[in-house]
Amino acid sequence: MAGVLKNAFTVGSFTALSRVMGLAREMLQSRLVGAGMEQSAFTLAFALPNMSRKLFGEGALTAAFVPVFKGCVETDGLAEAAKLARAVVTMVMLLLGATVALSMAGVLAALAMAETERMTLTLQLVAILLPYTLAICGAAFGMGVLNSLGRFKAPGFVPVILNVVWIAALASLAFFPQLSAAARIRLISGAILFGGILQMAFMFACMHRAGVSPALMFSGWRSERVVLVWRNLCIGALGAGAVQINYMLDQFLAQIASPWAAGVIGYAERLMDLPLGVIAVSFGTVLLPAFSGFFARGDTAGAKEVLSQSVKNQMFLMLPAAAGMFVLSGEIISVIYEGGRFGPGDTLRVARALGVYALGLGFFGLHKAIVPWFQAQHDMKTPLKVSVATVMVNAALNILAVWLLPVEWRHVGLAASTVVCALIGFVALVVLARRRNGPLGLSNASWYVVRVAVASILMAVVVLYVKGMTAGLHPIAALAAGILAGAASYGAFSLALRTFRNPLSRRIARGGTPR
C-alpha cells in the first residue's frame, strides 16, 4: 500500500499543479469571456472531443489496454508488450483519424446551413476542436503505457502543458481589448488544439525513452492480446458512450433550461474537478495498474487490502473538502470568478450548482476507486451495465428538473441528479464486486469513513460560524479565514476521533508487487 500511496501522491502533486493552473485559467476566462452564450457554445463544443477522449483515450481504451499490457509485461517482458502497444496505437490512431475527417466534413456542411448566431459559433468551435480529439487520445494512450510501467511523473505533467498554452492565449487577449467574446473564444479554442498537439508529442517522446516506440506497426493486429484489448474496448466504449451520451443530453437540456445554464454548470464542474482530480483521479490512475498486477498473479487478498486502504485515504481528504466547498461555495465563486463580464448574479448561480456537486464529491471519489476493480479483471461488462442503468435514471431526473423546477433552479436540479446517480452507481458496483470476489474488506473502512464524516460535519459547523463572524470582510479575507478555521478544526476533530490512526499495510510495494 505504501507504493500505491507514493504513486498516488506523485500523480496528485502534478494534478494539483495542473488544477491550480486550471483555476487561474478559469479566473481569466470568466472575466474575459463571461458566462453567457459564448461560454455555453464553448462548453458544448468542447464536450465533443472530451466525449471522444472518454471513449478512445483515458477512459475505455486505457481501461481495456492497461490490464492486458501489464499482464504482458509480467509474463513475457517489455519487448513483447511494446509490440502490443504499437499494434494497438496504430489501429486506434487510424480509426480516430478517419472519424475526425468524416466528422469535420459533416460539421462544415452543417455550418453552411446554420441560421442562428449561437449555432454558427458552436459549429465553428466544433470544427476547431475536432482535431484535438486525435491529439488528446494519443497522449492518453501514452499515459496509460507509462502508468503501467510505474512511471507516473511524465503522465502527471501532461495536463500542465495544455494549461500553460491556454493561459498564454488568455493573457494575449489583454493586447486585443477590441475583440468580441466570440472572437476570443475562437482564439482560445485554437490554443487548445495547439496544446493538445504538444501533449501528444511529449507523451510519444516519453514512451520512446521508456522502451515502447510509438511508431506505426501494421502486423500483429490479430494476435490474441490485441483482440482481447479490442473486445474490452468495445464493451468499455459502450459504457463510456452511454455516459457521454447522457452528458450531451445534460448539455442539451441545459440549453433548454436557460441560455446560461450550460456555462454555469461548466464553471461549477471545473471547480469540483479540483479536489476530484487531485485525490480521486490520482488514486484511480494508480489503482488500475496496481489491481492489474495483483490479479495477474492471482493475489486477490492483496488487491482487497489496497482497495480498503485507498477508500480510507481518499475519504480522509475528500469529505472535508466536500464540507468546505458546500459551506463556502459563494465565497469561493466570488473570489475565483467574479469580475469583468462575470457578475454577482452569475456568482449566485454557479454557487448553487457547486454546493450540490460538493454533496456528491465523496461518491464521485468512491466510484473512481471501485471501477478499476472490474477493469483489472478484464470485466468491462459489469461497469457497462451499471452505467447504462444510471444513465437512464439520470436522464429521467434531468428531464423532471427542467420540466418542474423554476428557471433559476433548473441547473441545480441537473447537478443534483448527477450526485444521486453517482451514489447509485457506487452501491451497485460494490454489491456486484462482492458477488464476484467475496467480501472486499470494506466493513472496517466503513466505520473509519463514518468517523471522518463526523469530523467533516463538525468542521463545517465551525466554518459556518466563522463565516458569519467575517461577513463584513473582503471576500478574500473571509474565504481565507474560513479555510484556516476549517483546516484547524478538522485537524482537531480528526485527532479526537482517531482518524489519523490509519495504519498502512507494509505488505504491498510499488505498483502492486509483493516485496
Domains of the chain by residue range: 2-512
Task: Return the closest-CA partner of residue 488 out of 451, 458, 454.
Answer: 458
pLDDT at 198: 96
Q: Give yes or no for a contact between 481 and 470, defined as CB atoms under 8 angstroms apart.
A: yes
Q: Give yes or no for a contact between 453 and 323, defined as CB atoms under 8 angstroms apart.
A: no
Those residues with Cβ within 8 angstroms of residue 133's Cβ, 6 or more apart along the chain or in another chain: 48, 49, 52, 53, 96, 99, 100
Question: Which set of grid coordinates corresponds to residue 221?
Answer: 493486429
Task: Return the closest-CA partner of residue 295 out of 208, 374, 411.
Answer: 374
Burial 402-417 (b: 16+ CB within 10 A, else e): beebeeebbbbbbbbb
pLDDT at 70: 83
pLDDT at 245: 65
DSSP single-letter state for residue 504 = P
pLDDT at 261: 78
Q: Vertex 399, ends 393 and 400: CA angle to 5°?
A: 90
CA dihedral of residues 34, 36, 39, 41 (deg, nearest 10): -160
pLDDT at 506: 38
Strand partners, 508: 514
The H or E element that residue 438 is part of is: none
Task: Return the closest-CA partner of residue 240 out of 398, 61, 39.
Answer: 61
Looking up cell 459502450 gives 238
Task: Return the closest-CA partner of residue 96 out of 53, 134, 138.
Answer: 134
Question: What is the 3-state composition of the chain as percent helix, strand, coil, each rounded to the nearest 5?
Answer: 85, 0, 15
One pLDDT digit (tens) per residue for the chain, 515 residues: 545 556 666 666 777 777 778 778 877 888 888 767 788 788 888 877 877 776 665 667 777 888 888 888 888 888 888 999 999 989 989 988 998 999 999 988 998 887 788 788 889 999 999 999 899 889 988 888 888 887 878 888 888 999 999 999 999 987 888 888 888 999 999 999 999 999 999 999 999 999 898 888 888 888 888 998 888 877 776 766 566 666 666 767 777 777 777 778 878 887 887 787 777 777 777 788 888 888 888 888 888 988 988 888 889 989 999 999 999 998 999 888 888 778 888 889 999 999 999 998 888 888 888 988 998 888 888 988 898 888 889 889 988 988 888 888 888 888 899 899 889 999 999 999 999 999 888 887 888 999 999 999 999 999 999 999 988 888 889 999 999 999 999 999 999 988 875 444 333 333 443 33
Q: How many CA atoms does the CB half-sphere of 477 hold within 13 Å?
A: 7
- Beta carbons within 10 angstroms of residue 79's beta carbon: 11
- Beta carbons within 10 angstroms of residue 500's beta carbon: 10
Q: Vertex 288, ends 214 and 215: CA angle to 5°?
A: 5
Q: What distance separates the 2 farthest-apart alpha carbons in the chain?
A: 69
pLDDT at 512: 42
pLDDT at 451: 93
Question: Which set of grid coordinates corresponds to residue 50?
Answer: 472530451
Residue 263 burial (CB < 10 Å; 0-12/13-18/19+)? buried
Q: Give yes or no for a contact between 266 and 255, defined as CB atoms under 8 angstroms apart.
A: no
Those residues with Cβ within 8 angstroms of residue 229's Cβ, 6 or more apart along the chain or in another chain: 64, 65, 68, 84, 88
Q: Give yes or no for a contact between 306 and 290, defined as CB atoms under 8 angstroms apart.
A: yes
Looking up cell 482564439 gives 187
* Sign of the alpha-carbon torsion through 139, 140, 146, 147: positive
- SS3 call for 508: strand
What is the distance between the alpha carbons of residues 281 and 279, in angstroms, rounded to a whole number? 6
Mapping DSSP onto H, E and C, the string for 311-339 reads HHHHHHHHHHHHHHHHHCHHHHHHHHCCE
Residue 438 burial (CB < 10 Å; 0-12/13-18/19+)? exposed
Q: Where are the alpha helices (DSSP H) in 258-299?
A: 261-275, 282-296
Task: Return the closest-CA partner of residue 285 out of 369, 347, 351.
Answer: 369
Q: Give yes or no for a contact between 381 and 235, defined as CB atoms under 8 angstroms apart.
A: yes
